[in-house]
Structure 1
Amino acid sequence: MLQFQIIPVTHYQQNCSLIWCDQTNQAALIDPGGEPERIKQAVAQAGVRITKILLTHGHLDHVGAATALAEYYQTAIIGPHIDDTFWLEMLDKQAQMMGFHRPRQNVVPAQFLVEGDVIAVGQSSLQVRHCPGHTPGHVVLIDTEARLAFVGDVLFNGAVGRSDFPRGDHATLVRSITGKLWRLGDDIRFVPGHGPMSTFAHERAHNPFVADKNFG
């Protein structure tokens, strides 16, 4: 079964997730946005072996430590969807916008993700859903066995992602959530890119942006 630990990093308190298969101890990092030494310490304390770095989208607070950690663990960066390439190519501008130090290395994925891809982490697996709107190449990663999703900045507890960035679109974001995520089941728990966890059921009932009552 997939296990996980949330590691908030940077002044944006971005939820980097350390995930691992409890049968093999193979592990991955999802959205390591910064503070690589803090992330390395958490990995060492968990006693797991990193085999992948996974990115939900190209914003700097989600990718800032990806290359440093990929080099340290001698593993590949996977994701996001290719449509977020332009974000990965403008890390300098993002750093200025967000008040970050510019990463010393570029972020160059070894593999981009598309709808329907499956990522193995030991004996666990994550299904990929392409969920544009916050960014055009945003992906969501779901373990249907553990009933757990890692949604990046698509959905939050009580909110949805911003859509005022280049190539963002609010209507597309809402369709991604209601048309793709809700189909996975109300019992799915999710780790957002920032803030506390929630469930799809709770958001369908209470989230003012995507609650079912808005679409009746």
Structure 2
Amino acid sequence: MEIEQLPLGPLGTNCYLLVEGDRTLIVDPGGDAEKLIRMVERRKLTPAAILLTHAHFDHIGAVDEVRERYNIDVYVHELEKDWLMDANQNGSSFFPMATPPVTARPADYFLTEGTQTIDKFSFEVRHTPGHSPGSITFLFQEDHIAIVGDTLFQGGIGRTDLPGGDMNTLMDSIEQKILTLPGTFTVCPGHGSTTTVDEEKQSNPFLS
């Protein structure tokens, strides 16, 4: 499986394209729908679904444009099933760069922990709350890839001062659901550069 990282939207949120043959899963289309669609078209890919690590505004800005273009379903954790439609819950009403406030139609499916199969893709969903109540991590075990949203960053951790955030919960999620992975796992965060589990264990100042 290939993975492409594409920063999108007002906060440079990492959108990921997971590619098997000519099929792709789109994770966190945070904005700049035209830029994302150009990449999909240039690579002659057929999107299978949109996955959301969580439903903050900077991760959902291009959801409706992309799903309408390709007639695909959107998946989010059930605890954030109302956030796409609500600018207060997704945070866009609080940030001046989100003008107008960001909203989208409801998700089509709600995720819980466990193994999921969509089209050619099989992966594990781990519930990793703390940054937000419905934050989830997508694990592609064979490829040693963890897409963690805003739970963990290279040298940092997710913020917990937004509605539903909690520092103790975030640290538990990181320690129990991410740092327990093999050290060679590539960690793909919602912002910034990719890292590995080993690198964060050794050098992340929040985890020492």
Q: Please say whether Structure 1 and Structure 2 have the same fold, judged by a TM-score greater than 0.5.
A: yes
Q: Secondary structure at the match of 2:143?
A: coil
Instruction: Determine if the alignment matches structure 1 residue 20 to structure 2 residue 19.
Output: yes
Q: 1:132 to 1:104 in 2, by over 3 A?
A: closer
**Runs of 5+ consecutive residues of structure 1 not aligned to the other structure:** 212-216
Kept after mapping to 2: 8 A contact 1:92/1:102: no
Q: How does 1:127-142 map to 2 (within 5 A)?
A: 127-142=124-139
**What pairs up with 1:4-43 in 2 under 5 angstroms?**
4-22=3-21, 25-43=22-40
Q: CA deviation at 1:85?
A: 3.0
Between the aligned partners of 2:168 and 2:74, the Cα distance in structure 1 is 30
> What is the aligned partner in structure 2 of residue 82 from structure 1?
78
Query: Residues 54 and 96 of structure 1: is their aligned pair in 2 closer, same or farther, counting only changes over 3 Å?
Result: same
Task: Check the 8 A contact 1:155/1:177 in 2, yes or no.
Answer: yes
Distance 1:168 1:71, change over 3 A: same
Is the aligned partner of 1:170 residue 2:172? no
Structure 1 residue corresponding to 2:106, chosen from 108, 130, 148: 108
Aligned residue for 1:150?
147
Q: How many matched pairs?
A: 206
| Runs (4+) off by over 6 Å | none
Contact 1:20 1:27 in 2 (8 A): yes
Q: Aligned partners of 2:199 and 2:164: how far apart in 1?
A: 29
TM-score, reference length from structure 2: 0.93
Do the aligned residues in 2 keep the contact of 1:20 with 1:121 (CA within 8 Å)? no
CA contact (8 A) 1:53 1:77 kept: yes
Deviation of residue 84 (structure 1)? 1.8
TM-score in terms of structure 1 length: 0.90
Describe the shift of the 1:4–1:110 C-alpha distance in structure 2 as closer, same or farther (beyond 3 A).
same
Task: Please give the alpha-carbon distance, in whole angstroms, between the structure 2 residues aligned to 1:149 and 1:104.
Answer: 27
- Measure how far apart 1:95 and its partner are: 2.7
Paired residues of 1:78 and 1:113 also in contact (CA < 8 A): yes
More helix by share: 1
Moved more, 88-97 or 176-185: 88-97
Q: Distance in 2 between matches of 1:105 and 1:60?
A: 8
Give the fraction of aligned pairs with identical amino acids, expressed as a percent: 33
Q: Give the secondary structure class of the aligned counterpart of 2:114.
A: coil
Shift of 1:92: 6.1
